Structure 1
């Protein structure tokens, strides 16, 4: 998603947040964050290809808020999301705008992955298998 955005928005400042769900507890863990200086003065576009529980997205939003970004200046973009994840984000952060291409409610009970027939997004994108 970033490559496509960079091709049309060359003058935009970019940051990176890497949040990975723990494989056992499924709790989000922050691994890396580097945000542009003066981020609080800008609109922020957060991108993640999938939203399942919404926990990773909510952590990313919280990081932006902790850096002074106003909740109504955040737009979260996702290609595939579950209604549960969208509801969780909207409940916790009602002023954050969500843009989702497809809602799908089929989630694996053990691994909390979307089971839509699309496969795990990373596997589909990179041509690998779980």
Structure 2
């Protein structure tokens, strides 16, 4: 499937296995989400554009590559996506941060927007949308819709765990968007939870029930 990248790095897989464990506590869970985001971000950002700049080393002056263009924009889907932001800003400290707030209707499971604030000018930036879970795909499709409505064009999405149903729905709705997945799980259950999954990522990151 073009523009869909499923991670196979042993460190990513190892850390995902730990966060799946129901006995992994809030502090460790939060730390691992951040570490997985760093590892996935390293892979996802390998095509960032570069330009040569003049650098003075202790020995001589040289031309050396640095990231070009407007600063990267990291856009977490609230609230669980917040857990992945520090991972990306560890790699790109100059990145701007936007936020998209969605809530899921408990009956229809469809998303509704309650907050959207993006860095300006968004249309000139590489945008990385982050959310630990891609379940039905409804929230992800809506979030990409909002970014495009605000003028965003160059969009990557990063999910630690995904269900096949969500991956297919997002790819079908936005085939131009690159999708990075830490692990593709088996299926959604009747309550739209990913199986085997890891439970509610937001609750586990923030220690709420």
TM-score normalised per structure 2: 0.57
User: How far 1:128 moved relative to its partner?
Assistant: 4.4
**2-structure distance, mates of 1:120, 1:76:** 19
**Which of 58, 61, 83 is the equivalent residue of 2:164?**
83
**2-structure distance, mates of 1:12, 1:23:** 34
**2-structure distance, mates of 1:102, 1:87:** 14
Q: Which runs of 5+ in 1 are unaligned?
A: none
Q: Which runs of 5+ in 2 are unaligned?
A: 1-83
CA RMSD, Structure 1 to Structure 2 (Å): 1.5
Task: Figure out how many residues of one structure are paired with residues of the other and give that number.
Answer: 126
Pairing 1:41–2:121 present: no
User: How far 1:123 moved relative to its partner?
Assistant: 3.0
1:85-104 residue CA offsets vs partner (Å, 9 max, x unmatched): 11111111111000000111
Find runs of 4+ consecutive structure 1 residues off by over 6 angstroms.
Answer: none
**2-structure distance, mates of 1:79, 1:3:** 15
Alignment of 1:54-93 (within 5 A): 54-70=137-153, 73-93=154-174
**Which of 96, 101, 104 is the equivalent residue of 2:185?**
104
**Which of 82, 95, 109 is the equivalent residue of 2:176?**
95
Higher strand share: 2
Pairing 1:20–2:100 present: no
Q: Which has the higher contact order (CA 8 A, sep 6+)?
A: 2
Whichever of the two has the greater Rg, that structure is 2
In structure 2, the residue matched to 1:124 is 204
